[in-house]
Structure 1
């Protein structure tokens, strides 16, 4: 009986060991996973690419595709004198001017016929150029010519051979834009190496009035522009601002990066509205320039006058804004109207004139031959004059 009990105990021990071994093996398989062909658990396995099952691309992808081949890089080439040590010191008639890239911007092809294609861009992109080139979306570089420029609106028209042009952008009216409307900006930020870059944003404001500053830092005009938070960087100038239908609603022109007190700013770009763009482009193609009425006077903001200046022209102390006249061209509209040096213009028709920019803005809304009413302060008294714009 005792031997029988010992045998049972041994069999029981063997069974428990067998079951424990089986469970341990299953546990190892569970933890490390089954690996066929004795694959090492330390061997790297490359991830597999699966088919992109997205139902559609981004909402603005279609719009981008409708304009991308009409957007070009614009290269401003300027002459630089090729010197060496001897010509620097003595000079030489044999010195040769060489063309170098001065700046790069963007443009958009908006019209094509059998011979030429026309490109809209900014005036500041092509200003002072000796030659111009454009780089098409396929990388082809071709020569371009100026058709006309307008510094006041910062617009210009170029023409190129239409042989290689395959896509032309369409304009849509900017009149019915609404804040919050999605848009994309297309162009060459930082130059042609980033050609046909696209950024997305919204219309922040459909009609924002900003000062236009010339190369001397003087405010020459006020411009009504579209404000957007789509990223606009140096090189984007002249490129299109595009709506969801792939239509051009503005020409990107400038951005604010810092406020007057030096505060850094993000997401404040501006574009010239398409309604104005089309009007200016048509005039430039027809005449090569924009003819605007002028009074024929030299002026200065009242805010820039010294206390001594104000006393000399007998300007009342309560007049803090306006435009002071310091010379009048002989035979001009102003001369014929009776405007004199030392007059201060404070009103045209029923609109207040508080700066040179507002004076220009008011005049540019008129056509040559229009008659206007001008209110000036002369020797401390108000005088009303009539002028016919030339």
Structure 2
């Protein structure tokens, strides 16, 4: 068989992909063994037809058209994608070493270990040395270092992070950095081609490609506030914090997670998630200017709209929305005229299907944002505009009720709220305080009181405006639910 005929046969076989997997496997084995023999001098006629083509090289064009390649774009983009290496010192708890005798007899036994992890990051501002990555990549780290594409490794400075959106910002002191500024993720559409760049399983500067499978993806348990880009580009452990770019080479997302019910050992199944660049931009702006992320809230408590409630409100069967159960005094919702019994069906142009969707939308908006709302009131559509106000993120329990004095209460971390649904977190309990004497412990989640149920910290405060004679807390401690009577 002539070389030209062999090349055509291989090209045709490759086009069929998995349909001819067995035959391709045999062909590849044979080609590898016969590689030296495959390089032959072209016939004079072929050499005349393609004088610039080296012997054995693939053509740069087919039928007069250049072959598509992402290489030019990637050469520009990839130097801005870095490896993020973290170390965390963890003390080893060994009861024998509570005894000074054992510590003196065995001084060489280590009393701490170093946990290491590897993720990815993107240089978004070369002049400032800003590197964007995921919060979970650097969470709890004692030391963070960044390895650049040119081989340099630099110690990084932590600037701030937001666990609820999984965004973190670090800084490296270096010159001659490549950067990849944040693009406009709002232009993405389902079907657009995207490329993921990162360090999966520690393999530096790895590129995978795919399409945008969905935008605005939410409702995924355990992942905080959600407005994800979903892609079938492979995103594996180590890709976290890496770049998702479009074909123009613009940074449209930060890779954060992959969905796989079988775990990472099962391989990628085409369900990757990325934080939109527009969301990351808002978080970074607050981290740089304020040092923390402050979120706005409407100031309502909402409940699901089931078929029975829909009928009682004169709404059609199957109507979706967030039914307002309580409007907090002095809130943006109160100022906008919202009432209990209203059903919020749209906020900021986004459809609201349930209370979780409303909560997720609120959590992604800054304080002071003006949000147009569409609500159903007594079966009729009504519009309103509410200005989001900042809600307290923690409170002294004693300010709500003296029986909880000494307890520091905080909003649930969003990942925990996704699994618990509602409640407030006991962030700390002072030793010897009244709350401690009543049995309250750090890490407890209060889900209801004898004064009523609530969704969050503002709701708990509203239920305790008139403290009950007997205060009983319904708490979750670990996986156990119980009651505490506060004396």
Smaller-chain TM-score bracket = 0.5 to 0.7
Contact 1:328–1:339, Cα closer than 8 Å, also in 2? yes
Number of residue pairs matched by the alignment: 323
Confirm or deny that 1:189 pairs with 2:200: yes
Distance in 2 of aligned mates of 1:228 and 1:372: 30
Contact 1:66–1:169, Cα closer than 8 Å, also in 2? no
Provide TM-score, normalisation by structure 1: 0.63
Distance in 1 of aligned mates of 2:280 and 2:82: 17
Distance in 1 of aligned mates of 2:188 and 2:383: 39
Contact 1:199–1:230, Cα closer than 8 Å, also in 2? yes
2:212 to 199, 204, 217: 204
Confirm or deny that 1:241 pairs with 2:244: yes
Kindly provide the CA deviation profile for residues 257-294 of structure 1, in whole angstroms up to 9, marking residues without a partner as x: 249xxx99822223233344334333332223332211
1:143 to 139, 155, 162: 155
2:80: which partner in 1? Answer: 70
Distance in 1 of aligned mates of 2:321 and 2:189: 34
After the TM superposition, which residues 218-229 of structure 1 pair with which residues of structure 2 at under 5 Å, given as runs? 218=222, 220-225=224-229, 227-229=230-232
Deviates more, 1:320-329 or 1:128-137: 320-329
Confirm or deny that 1:100 pairs with 2:104: no
2:297: which partner in 1? Answer: 294
Report the 3-state secondary structure (helix = DSSP H, G, I; strand = E; otherwise coil) of the residue aligned with 1:184.
Answer: strand
Distance in 1 of aligned mates of 2:37 and 2:371: 76
**Distance apart, 1:109 and its partner CA:** 0.9
Kindly provide the CA deviation profile for residues 124-146 of structure 1, in whole angstroms up to 9, marking residues without a partner as x: 32233333222222444322222
Structure 2, unpaired ranges of 5+: 1-32, 40-54, 61-66, 390-487
With a CA cutoff of 8 Å and minimum separation of 6, indicate the structure with the bigger relative contact order.
1
Distance in 1 of aligned mates of 2:351 and 2:231: 29
Distance in 2 of aligned mates of 1:388 and 1:45: 72
Distance in 1 of aligned mates of 2:350 and 2:125: 38
Confirm or deny that 1:253 pairs with 2:256: yes
Distance in 2 of aligned mates of 1:187 and 1:169: 14
Distance in 2 of aligned mates of 1:335 and 1:249: 37
**Distance apart, 1:333 and its partner CA:** 4.6
Sort the Cα spacing of 1:376 and 1:264 in 2 relative to 1 into closer, same or farther, 3 A. farther
Distance in 1 of aligned mates of 2:302 and 2:208: 41
Report the 3-state secondary structure (helix = DSSP H, G, I; strand = E; otherwise coil) of the residue aligned with 2:296.
Answer: coil
1:80: which partner in 2? Answer: 90
Report the 3-state secondary structure (helix = DSSP H, G, I; strand = E; otherwise coil) of the residue aligned with 1:354.
Answer: coil
Distance in 1 of aligned mates of 2:189 and 2:333: 40
Report the 3-state secondary structure (helix = DSSP H, G, I; strand = E; otherwise coil) of the residue aligned with 1:232.
Answer: coil
Distance in 2 of aligned mates of 1:133 and 1:223: 29
1:109: which partner in 2? Answer: 123
**Distance apart, 1:299 and its partner CA:** 5.9
Provide TM-score, normalisation by structure 2: 0.52
Contact 1:70–1:168, Cα closer than 8 Å, also in 2? yes
2:140: which partner in 1? Answer: 128
2:452: which partner in 1? Answer: none
Report the 3-state secondary structure (helix = DSSP H, G, I; strand = E; otherwise coil) of the residue aligned with 2:358.
Answer: helix
Structure 1, unpaired ranges of 5+: 1-43
Report the 3-state secondary structure (helix = DSSP H, G, I; strand = E; otherwise coil) of the residue aligned with 2:129.
Answer: strand
Kindly provide the CA deviation profile for residues 71-97 of structure 1, in whole angstroms up to 9, marking residues without a partner as x: 1122233231034451278999x9965
Distance in 1 of aligned mates of 2:97 and 2:300: 45
Contact 2:228–2:275, Cα closer than 8 Å, also in 1? yes
After the TM superposition, which residues 356-367 of structure 1 pair with which residues of structure 2 at under 5 Å, given as runs? 356-363=355-362, 364-365=364-365, 367=367
Distance in 1 of aligned mates of 2:246 and 2:369: 38
Sort the Cα spacing of 1:301 and 1:75 in 2 relative to 1 into closer, same or farther, 3 A. farther
Sort the Cα spacing of 1:279 and 1:386 in 2 relative to 1 into closer, same or farther, 3 A. closer
1:28: which partner in 2? Answer: none
2:3: which partner in 1? Answer: none
